[in-house]
């Protein structure tokens, strides 16, 4: 069966304007920050279940996607938000653009993973982790880090890469979890000290691990699943969950009140909670809140615990959301380069 979706990193202006003015039977537009490979796998499976629905997809990093939606607020061009960080979703400006909806299967999702007003729900999540290149460590005689604190060792100077929190949801969860763990004064001091060892800040949450896997850095502060994939692909990577606890983010989805195709949009959101989707979450995410998701063999081989909740830091998502603009302004003014 051919894949009945169109995958785009950029839309042509004419096409976007056309989609914004009238409904297209059998077509919806989804905005996402899911990894490109994951989105393709999920949409291939959805196409088999709903071959008459074409999903036009725009994929951007978490921060860039939020900026895009706010810029289009007077004329939204998408029907659903799919797999976007809850810390960004709960922005009141975004919330007022959503339409409450209870997808089929939502009652089986725990309360903490869905909005009490039915404006969003989670399917998966990602957790902060280090991708450590064991060959680079050996070649440079570097110790294996086990914690955020270990990364302050001067031996790691220029050997660490992490995502820019201004554009990456992974980057923001990393610094917000550090500020919550340590308190703001000690947390900001830590981030300034860490900066002394930082080789680069990069836009993507997965890129630190991808650059580390090919030996450009010793340690990539990234998220766990990309490390699991790196090991499965044969790279000399060890996934390290910091001993202070792993900051994490929920990937949530929502219906737009301006959707031009409510019926098919709801069918897509319903599918995200089906057993077929849950099976894929188990294969492609280290954390899923949908019943039926089972940890992959690759995750087990990478050393991740069967119960991921045992290593998570207890994130305060409301704090992360309410303080985001202030934190990012300070980070850009004092650290970004």
Say yes or no: 273 and 240 in one domain: no
Tell whether 137 and 228 lie within a shared domain.
yes
Q: Flag whether the pTM goes above 0.85.
A: no
Cβ neighbours for 294, distance < 8 A, ≥ 6 positions apart? 279, 282
Contact present, 190 and 242 (Cβ < 8 Å): no
Look at residue 289 in the predicted model and tell me its pLDDT. 87
Q: Residues 66, 170: one domain?
A: no
Q: What is the DSSP letter of 312?
A: B
On whether both 188 and 311 belong to a single domain, the answer is yes
- Under DSSP, is residue 180 helix (H, G, I), strand (E, B) or coil? helix
- Give 310's contacts (C-beta < 8 A, 6+ positions apart): none
Same domain, 107 and 173: no
Alpha carbons 224 and 232: distance in angstroms, whole number = 13
Q: Give the Cα-Cα-Cα angle 124, 2, 77 (nearest 5 degrees).
A: 55
Number of domains in the chain: 2
Q: What's the domain range around 190?
A: 126-248+305-334
| Helices and strands in the chain, H and E counts | 15, 12
Compute the distance between CA of residue 118 and CA of residue 123 in angstroms, rounded to an integer.
14
Clarify whether residues 183 and 227 are in a common domain. yes
CATH number at residue 57: 3.40.190.10
- Do 17 and 99 belong to one domain? yes
Q: What number of other Cβ atoms are within 10 A of residue 132's Cβ?
A: 23
CA distance 314 to 312: 6
Do residues 236 and 135 share a domain?
A: yes
Tokens 């450590």 correspond to 132
- Number of neighbours of residue 172 by Cβ within 10 angstroms: 27
CB 268 within 8 A of CB 28: yes
Q: Is 134 exposed, middle or buried (0-12, 13-18, 19+ CB in 10 A)?
A: middle
Q: 192 and 63, same structural domain?
A: no
Average pLDDT along the chain, 337 residues, taken 10 residues at a time = 40 41 76 93 97 96 92 96 94 96 95 94 95 98 98 98 92 96 97 98 94 98 95 97 95 97 98 96 90 91 91 92 94 95
Cβ of 337: how many Cβ atoms within 10 Å? 8
d(CA 301, CA 77): 42
For residues 109 and 18, membership in a common domain is answered with: yes
Residues 157 and 182 in one domain: yes
**∠ CA(35), CA(42), CA(292), 5° rounding?**
110
């Amino acid at each position: 069966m051919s894949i009945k979706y169109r995958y785009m990193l950029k839309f042509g202006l004419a096409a976007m304007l056309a989609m914004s003015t009238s409904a297209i039977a059998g077509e919806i537009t989804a905005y996402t920050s899911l990894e490109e490979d994951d989105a393709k796998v999920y949409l291939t499976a959805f196409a088999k279940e709903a071959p008459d629905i074409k999903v036009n997809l725009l994929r951007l990093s978490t921060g860039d996607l939020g900026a895009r939606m706010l810029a289009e607020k007077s004329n939204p061009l998408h029907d659903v938000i799919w797999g976007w960080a809850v810390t960004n979703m709960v922005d009141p400006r975004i919330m007022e653009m959503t339409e409450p909806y209870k997808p089929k299967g939502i009652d089986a999702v725990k309360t903490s993973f869905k909005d009490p007003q039915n404006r969003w729900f989670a399917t998966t999540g990602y957790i902060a982790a280090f991708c450590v290149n064991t060959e680079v460590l050996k070649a440079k005689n570097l110790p294996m880090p086990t914690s955020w604190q270990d990364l302050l060792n001067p031996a790691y100077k220029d050997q660490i890469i992490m995502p820019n929190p201004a554009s990456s949801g992974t980057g923001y969860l990393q610094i917000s979890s550090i500020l919550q763990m340590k308190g703001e004064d000690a947390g900001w001091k830590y981030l300034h000290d860490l900066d002394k060892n930082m080789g680069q800040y990069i836009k993507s949450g997965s890129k630190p691990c991808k650059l580390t896997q090919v030996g450009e850095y010793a340690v990539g502060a990234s998220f766990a699943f990309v490390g699991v994939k790196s090991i499965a692909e044969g790279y000399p990577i060890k996934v390290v969950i910091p001993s202070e606890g792993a900051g994490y983010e929920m990937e949530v989805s929502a219906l737009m009140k301006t959707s031009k195709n409510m019926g098919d949009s709801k069918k897509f959101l319903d599918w995200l909670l089906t057993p077929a989707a849950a099976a894929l979450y188990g294969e492609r995410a280290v954390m899923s809140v949908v019943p039926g998701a089972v940890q992959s063999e690759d995750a087990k081989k990478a050393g991740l615990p069967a119960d991921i909740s045992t290593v998570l830091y207890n994130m305060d998502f409301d704090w992360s959301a309410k303080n985001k603009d202030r934190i990012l302004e300070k980070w850009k003014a004092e650290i970004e380069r």
